[in-house]
Amino acid sequence: MKRNIKKAVLAYSGGLDTSIILKWLQDEYKCEVVTFTADLGQGEEVEPARQKALKLGIKPENIFILDLREEFVKDFVFPMFRANAIYEGEYLLGTSIARPLIAKKQIEIAKETGADAVSHGATGKGNDQVRFELGYLGLDPDIAVIAPWREWDLNSRGKLLDYAKEHGIEIDKKGKSSPYSMDANLLHISYEGEILEDPSCEPEESMWLWSVSPQDAPDTPEYITISYKNGDPYAINHTDMSPATILETLNAYGNKHGIGRIDIVENRFVGMKARGCYETPGGTIMLKAHRAIESITLDREEAHLKDELMPRYAKLIYNGFWWSPEREMLQSAIDKTQENVNGEVKLKLYKGNVMVVGRSSDESLYSQEHSTFEEDEVYNQKDAEGFIRLNALRFIIEGKKQPNRLKRMHNKKS
């Protein structure tokens, strides 16, 4: 039995799937639909979504198209990069980090328009359904959620095309399927499906849309400098820039030099493994630079504890728990560590590689007079003997009290 929904806010791209969802909501739920289209720097025009929504009967006042590029980078990407977050060792969470912002805006628009439901186009197999809906319910526990892919029987592209034809919905590319399922924003572009579903198949070079192949990148390395304040980049080559412009500029550098391509098999939250390819050019550069500036400004134990927390933090974002109290708790701890993460990092970009070649900070904890191999007057090397014996004390006691145990350990090696 269908719920009684009066008005629903749909995350609307203007593409085939969400256009069908828009019509399906009108027909199945007999509800008024509000469309929300987010510009997250995906590199496509978003205004055409307005005309498509109008053709499908959406009132002009119920069409929301928002430029969220600055908010996306400043309030979502930058906080995540303060944590050096990577999921399963490689994925820089480009899709994951966009979902909480979209969910937040949908809830805000729902409150503004008096809507009692929100809807998305994520399938029942992927992570995005979880990310969207945890966001919705975390921000408004009373909102109704409509997930068409879990309700309808339009479970193939053929059925979607038939539905579109039957209901007069315009189809881009004359109904031809794109080679891959893709998602893009300022941080990354992802590719799934088609030949990628066989993890043994190498992706075609033509698949990559942003970056040049590393072997075709310039034969001359390029040097750039990134300036940091409180853990966030604010200037490139000593020119101050807004957060979104920082990432756009780093993307351009990365694409030019073939930086940021990965091909991984990841573990989805819903339980299955999925193969995906990603281009994250600017993010790859930012991660390298951020770790470099932290290397001279963070205390050893502070840095080590932060690295221990990172996998948990990354997992929370991947699984959709951005708005959870535990993520906010971790974020507070991470942000505290960034108070002195200020300075500059010099990088060398060359054929798919990002190399740190210099780092400096007025708050650097690096002491050349202590670490030098030359003669110094600040460190007494004889002090190391007591330090070592104190750390070895438990071994010494064990060796005297339990000699048989040490013999057994020696015999196992033999």
**What is the per-residue pLDDT across 97-112, written as a single tens digit (0 to 9) for each?**
999 999 999 999 999 9
Give the architecture-level CATH label for domain 7-69+95-177: 3-Layer(aba) Sandwich (3.40)
Question: What burial class does residue 217 get, using C-beta atoms within 10 Å of its C-beta: 0-12 exposed, 13-18 middle, 19+ buried?
Answer: buried
| pTM for this predicted structure | 0.92
Q: Is 99 a catalytic residue?
A: yes
In this prediction, residues 132-140 reach a mean pLDDT of 98
Q: Is 140 a catalytic residue?
A: no
Closest CA to 52 of 65, 39, 42, 43: 65
Whether the pLDDT of residue 176 is over 60: the answer is no
Q: H/E/C letters for each residue in the chain?
A: CCCCCCEEEEECCCCHHHHHHHHHHHHHCCCEEEEEEEECCCCCCCCHHHHHHHHCCCCHHHEEEEECHHHHHHHHHHHHHHCCCCECCCECCCCHHHHHHHHHHHHHHHHHHCCCEEECCCCCCCCHHHHHHHHHHHHCCCCEEECHHHCCCCCCHHHHHHHHHHCCCCCHHHHCCCCCEEEECCCCEEEECHHHHCCCCCCCHHHCCCCCCHHHCCCCCEEEEEEEECCEEEEECCEECCHHHHHHHHHHHHHHCCCCEEEEEEECCCCCEEEEEEECHHHHHHHHHHHHHHHHHCCHHHHHHHHHHHHHHHHHHHHCCCCCHHHHHHHHHHHHHHHHCCEEEEEEEECCEEEEEEEECCCCCCCHHHHCCCCCCCCCCCHHHHHHHHHHHHHHHHHHHCHHHHHHHHHHHC
Whether the pLDDT of residue 58 is over 90: the answer is yes
- Residue located via tokens 């992927």: 126
Is 85 or 376 the better-scoring residue by pLDDT? 85
In this prediction, residues 30-56 reach a mean pLDDT of 94
Amino acid (1-letter code) at residue 277: C
> pLDDT-based confidence at 380, cuts 50/70/90?
confident
Q: Are 97 and 187 in contact (CB under 8 A)?
A: yes
In this prediction, residues 361-386 reach a mean pLDDT of 82
Whether the pLDDT of residue 174 is over 70: the answer is no
Tell me the pLDDT of the chain averaged across its residues. Answer: 93
> pLDDT-based confidence at 408, cuts 50/70/90?
confident
Cα-based distances in Å from 182 to 119, 310, 413 = 20, 27, 52
Whether the pLDDT of residue 274 is over 70: the answer is yes
Q: Which residues, 6+ apart, have CB-to-CB distance to 374 below 8 Å? A: none
In the chain, what are the domain boundaries?
7-69+95-177, 183-298+341-360, 368-413
pLDDT of residue 312: 98
Q: Which residues, 6+ apart, have CB-to-CB distance to 365 below 8 Å? A: 296, 297, 298, 299
Whether the pLDDT of residue 255 is over 90: the answer is yes
Task: Provide the sign of the torsion angle of the four alpha carbons 321, 325, 326, 327, taken in this order.
Answer: positive
Closest CA to 47 of 67, 35, 69, 65: 65
Set 17, 39, 183, 232: catalytic member: 17
Residue 125 neighbours by CB distance under 10 Å? 13
Set 69, 99, 131, 359: catalytic member: 99
Set 181, 295, 324, 364: catalytic member: 181
Whether the pLDDT of residue 203 is over 60: the answer is yes
> pLDDT-based confidence at 411, cuts 50/70/90?
confident
Q: Is 181 a catalytic residue?
A: yes
Set 96, 119, 128, 211: catalytic member: 128
In this prediction, residues 313-342 reach a mean pLDDT of 98
Fold of 183-298+341-360: Argininosuccinate synthetase, chain A, domain 2 (3.90.1260)
In this prediction, residues 258-282 reach a mean pLDDT of 96
Amino acid (1-letter code) at residue 235: A
Sheet holding 117-119, edge to edge: 63-67, 32-39, 7-11, 117-119, 144-146
Q: Is 198 a catalytic residue?
A: no
pLDDT of residue 178: 53
pLDDT of residue 378: 81
> pLDDT-based confidence at 232, cuts 50/70/90?
very high
Q: Are 9 and 117 in contact (CB under 8 A)?
A: yes
